[in-house]
Structure 1
Amino acid sequence: MAVSTPIALLLTAVCFLGFYVAVPVLASSSDDFLQCLSTQVPSQLVLTPTSPSFKPLLVSSIRNARFVAPATARPPLCIVTPTDASHVQAAVRCGRAHGVRLRVRSGGHDNEGLSYLSQRPEVFAVLDLAKLHAVRVDPREATAWVDSGATVGELYYAVGKAAPGLGFPAGVCPTVGVGGQFSGGGQGLMMRMYGLASDNIIDASIVDAHGNLLPNKKAMGDSLFWAIRGGGGGSFGIVLSFKLRLVAVPPKVTYLSVTKTMEQDAVDAVTKWQTVAPALPDDLSVRVVVQQRQANFQSLYLGRCSQVVSTLRDRFPELGVTSADCREMTWLQYVAYIFFGDAIDTTPLDVLLLNRTMPIGPFLKNRSDYVKKALTNNTWHKIFTWPSGAAQGELILEPHGGRMAKIADGDTPFPHRSGVLYNIQYVQFWNGNTAAGNTSSTPDWINTMYDYMAPFVTKNPRAAYANYRDLDLGVNKVVGGVSTYKSGKVWGERYFGGNFRRLAMTKRKVDPTDYFRNEQSVPPLTLIRK
């Protein structure tokens, strides 16, 4: 049985505007920064635009072709590829001393390119953590330390090999970097059973805004440890590694994939799904990908096929599930199968899950919503028949409920808990001019669909998922070299709800001068500019 959702679409599933008061940085400051790095970081770990390896490295993990041309046209001063915590500390200290900011990336699946691209006229360097990718599993404690530069695939492979009865509830795309995904939450098909990836972080190490290494949560304090577990990346420091609580998985799990067209009552099935999926047993998750007038239902059950077929026949007969729709496998096989499909039958899992390189995909734009009240059948009919023109779009519906509803909104920065039925990710992809990098010509489907959905989703504020970063929600205004709380609140409360103020208070405590700053970084609360 082949996975019906194309790999190119699954890559998008997990996997410039604003005001700025420029602070001039002299060329000599840039030279001084590079000179400072040269005394503390081996030269082969610092690449400048004159190096033949610079451009290939810069674009190596860019998945959204929309940002290739802007990233190469306005490149960073250099790319630092640390292999040790001391190199990260040196980059921060040199950057602060010589007026060079850092953009930090761990994987490159970045919806708005903020980890390697600045929309503002500032001198910056990229800190690429890909060489910090170790995973250290302790099967007896059911824990693992994972470096921020590891991919989700590397984590899954290490856990599955070292401890076959254990797993971890993160996303479905193996080439996503854990540093970015965990910092913003980390949704996946086991979140109804075990919560988000960030809900299962039990310790961490971080380099703070002054270049100090804080090796554990005791050293960083409660507020900073709280903030980095779902408060978004790029605001508080550079997380080097996370300690994870691993979760139990049975010897066999079941994956199902059922596709329904409109002629096969797809609209009725999705309408029913809205209330059924969040109320299913916690160990069963059914998500939906809506595209080209059809719905693909993808289900993970932590158990055998016979039981999930029985449950879905009883609770969701509209889906028409049979045992022929099942594929039983180990959890490790499943995390490869949902992305690579039948390739797992002919290709070793280590080749699939440990490969960091993927071709640059199409131009992409992502947006998101949360739903607390089920949409009507008539509304879904309009969604299914929404015109797309030459561009292609899809909706990815992720059910909540289960464990997600049992965690308090303030336990971590991620607030979308009780009462949420499901999350929507809108994805539009199109063939653009990679050389020109025409980022302003997003086709109309995604924005017209997003506008249409306004009456049916959360309000005051209209919520969004931080890992589906969306600059159309607003960007920071910078006054006197510091992002203002007032401008950040516009987009911040949509990602973090009432937790945004607490995040800004933490920012004031750990980075009051706003060294770690990007277009949607959390601003320090006390430095308000009207």
Structure 2
Amino acid sequence: MSTPSIALLFHLVSISIFAIASSSSHRTADPTEAFLKCLGLRNHSFVPNKSTYTRRDSGYSTILNLGINNLRFTSTSTPKPLVIVTPLDESQVPPVVQCAKDVDLEIRIRSGGHDYEGLSSVSQLPFVILDLMLLRSIDIDVASRTAWVQSGAIVGELYYKIAKASPILAFPAGVCPTIGIGGHLAGGAYGTLLRKYGLGADNVIDARIVDVNGSVLDRKTMGEDLFWAVRGGGGASFGIILSWKIKLVQVPKNVTVFTVTRTLQQNATGLIYKWQNIAHKFDTNLLMRAIFNRIGAVETGDATIGVYFNSVFLGGVDKLLPLLKKSFPELGVVKEDCTEMSWAQSILNFNGFSINEPLETLQNRSINPRRYFKAKSDYVTKPIPLSAFQGIWNLFFEKEATGAVVIFTPYGGKMKDISKSAIPFPYRSGNIYSIQHLVYWSEEENAKAENYIAWMRKLYSYFGAYVSNSPRAAYINYKDLDLGQNNLGNTSYNEANNRWGADYFNGNFKRLANVKTLVDPGNFFKNELSIPLL
């Protein structure tokens, strides 16, 4: 038997001393102080007050609320973290995981703060927030048409960097520039290129993740099962995604954009019914959304419904108009409705900016206002009957619907060609479009927030007869706790599957639970909608 070296003995003694100190401090000390002390011991590059914020720090509330886009979760009654950590370097992330475990604290991970139910910023148990907003580097390789992007970068920053590197490259993620890449790709990520190139997660080719042991893994070292799970299965269940390697896609130098509005008096009902039957069959270069809300005031008698046909075509107007004339002449789109611009500029256009807006605006993390809202999602497998739309319009004439909007996004194209089990996101062939239901209200109206949430539930209930069922499909990036939730992370697989797991993941839920059981058997990474142990 060989004799251990002095260096090895010193190392083992150091580990033992640290373990004893850590165990003792977490039994007796304030958890905030114990957590900060642990960070200092585990990472000497950690600098207090530069990357951590406690409730005693003046910048605490600013940093906390900066990463919460749904103002419902900024109230004084909302549970607050003991500590917010904003790492300056990837090396500072593993100690956060290790110390949260040592001190027995929950961990919440956020990149852009677009979590619809606030789960990246809220926990019912003592917790810390790991906010990745400062880990936002983007490295574009035009020659290989790939990029490495850190999870704290927002979608707009990625689009801007790609556009600056090449006018004919893009990435098929969302239309909202302020979404954080980390959570967006972990849930699937769809946008105006989904009919041509699929989801953002379909175009991820590598990732770097911190696992429950604090190890940093890439695709090769994490294995294909975990790599499969993090691309659409919700990364917060399995670890902390540091960065993604993505495959860039080709777009023409100029695309064509138009938005035309039709009211009930202009046959909006007939047009949206026709849209349902054809939008998923269009040329894959065309994506045409149908968005509707109420226009005018009920009190003055001039209220109506406006349907916005919001489109981007990967090509020039000279090719678009003949296509529309053949497939959707009733819409009556003319050349004057159309504008040619770069694909990156089309993202600004979809957010209400003119063609003269500088591309640098995409990097602005405040480009979209923060609001109070409740959202839900659906998938449609066959057109909603024409007669059913009158019931929808009636609901939109109720007073709580002043700030309501519904977005229909067509599928087909590439989406129907990708296997339902290629990644955890299962809703491919058989779905003709997805629905996002939203209702907004102001700060002045927030005292009656439950009225708006109740209205949203009523709208969702009405749609139930016309959308997918068994399960009623939902999109994990549009989290909805009405569907069910974990009981502080202690819900069984069968309970979770029956409550919400099948809704979000359908037949992929069991495989996700298998992966979870293998990589996080202690269920450290958990929240109200995390994957349970099998």
Question: If the length of structure 2 is used for normalisation, what is the TM-score?
Answer: 0.89
Q: Which protein has greater RCO, CA pairs closer than 8 Å, 6+ apart? A: 1
Match of 2:459 among 446, 449, 461: 449
The equivalent residue for 2:6 is: none
1:27 Cα offset (Å): 5.3
Matched, 1:500 2:505: no
Match of 1:325 among 337, 349, 353: 337
Alignment map for 1:63-462 (pairs within 5 Å): 63-70=69-76, 73-118=78-123, 120=124, 122-214=125-217, 216-292=218-294, 293-342=305-354, 344-345=355-356, 347-350=357-360, 352-358=361-367, 361-386=370-395, 387-391=397-401, 392-432=403-443, 440-462=450-472
In structure 2, distance between residues paired with 1:500 and 1:311: 40
Which amino acid counterpart does residue 477 of structure 1 have in structure 2? N
In structure 1, distance between residues paired with 2:368 and 2:70: 10
In structure 2, distance between residues paired with 1:256 and 1:501: 42
The equivalent residue for 1:37 is: 39
1:25 Cα offset (Å): 8.1
Task: Kindly indicate whether the alpha-carbon contact (under 8 Å) linking 1:25 and 1:123 is maintained by their aligned counterparts in 2.
Answer: no
SS at match of 1:227: helix
1:443 Cα offset (Å): 4.1
SS at match of 1:460: coil
1:439–1:102 distance in 2 versus 1, CA, 3 Å:
farther
Matched, 1:488 2:517: no
Instruction: Compare CA radii of gyration and give the structure with the larger one.
Output: 2
1:250–1:418 distance in 2 versus 1, CA, 3 Å:
same
Task: Kindly indicate whether the alpha-carbon contact (under 8 Å) linking 2:493 and 2:513 is maintained by their aligned counterparts in 1.
Answer: yes
Q: Mean alpha-carbon deviation: is it higher for 39-48 or for 129-138? A: 39-48
1:265–1:359 distance in 2 versus 1, CA, 3 Å:
closer
The equivalent residue for 1:474 is: 484
Task: Kindly indicate whether the alpha-carbon contact (under 8 Å) linking 1:62 and 1:360 is maintained by their aligned counterparts in 2.
Answer: no
In structure 1, distance between residues paired with 2:228 and 2:477: 17
Percent identity of equivalent pairs? 42
Which amino acid counterpart does residue 114 of structure 1 have in structure 2? L
Q: Mean alpha-carbon deviation: is it higher for 461-470 or for 379-388? A: 379-388
1:363 Cα offset (Å): 1.4
1:413–1:26 distance in 2 versus 1, CA, 3 Å:
farther
Which amino acid counterpart does residue 475 of structure 2 have in structure 1? Y
The equivalent residue for 1:509 is: 518
Alignment RMSD (CA, Å): 1.7
The CA deviation string for residues 404-431 of structure 1, in whole angstroms up to 9 with x for no partner, is 0000000000000011000011001112
In structure 2, distance between residues paired with 1:400 and 1:26: 56
Question: If the length of structure 1 is used for normalisation, what is the TM-score?
Answer: 0.90
SS at match of 1:497: helix
Which amino acid counterpart does residue 395 of structure 1 have in structure 2? V
The equivalent residue for 1:5 is: none
The CA deviation string for residues 289-320 of structure 1, in whole angstroms up to 9 with x for no partner, is 11111100111100001211110111011211
1:348 Cα offset (Å): 2.2
In structure 2, distance between residues paired with 1:25 and 1:339: 51
Match of 1:524 among 526, 529, 533: 533
Which amino acid counterpart does residue 146 of structure 1 have in structure 2? V
Structure (1 or 2) with the greater helix fraction? 2
Task: Kindly indicate whether the alpha-carbon contact (under 8 Å) linking 1:48 and 1:54 is maintained by their aligned counterparts in 2.
Answer: yes
1:31–1:439 distance in 2 versus 1, CA, 3 Å:
farther
In structure 2, distance between residues paired with 1:439 and 1:429: 9
Gaps of 5+ in 2: 1-25, 295-304
1:62 Cα offset (Å): 1.7
SS at match of 1:82: coil
The CA deviation string for residues 134-154 of structure 1, in whole angstroms up to 9 with x for no partner, is 110000000010000000000
1:388 Cα offset (Å): 2.7
In structure 2, distance between residues paired with 1:505 and 1:25: 33
1:88–1:504 distance in 2 versus 1, CA, 3 Å:
same
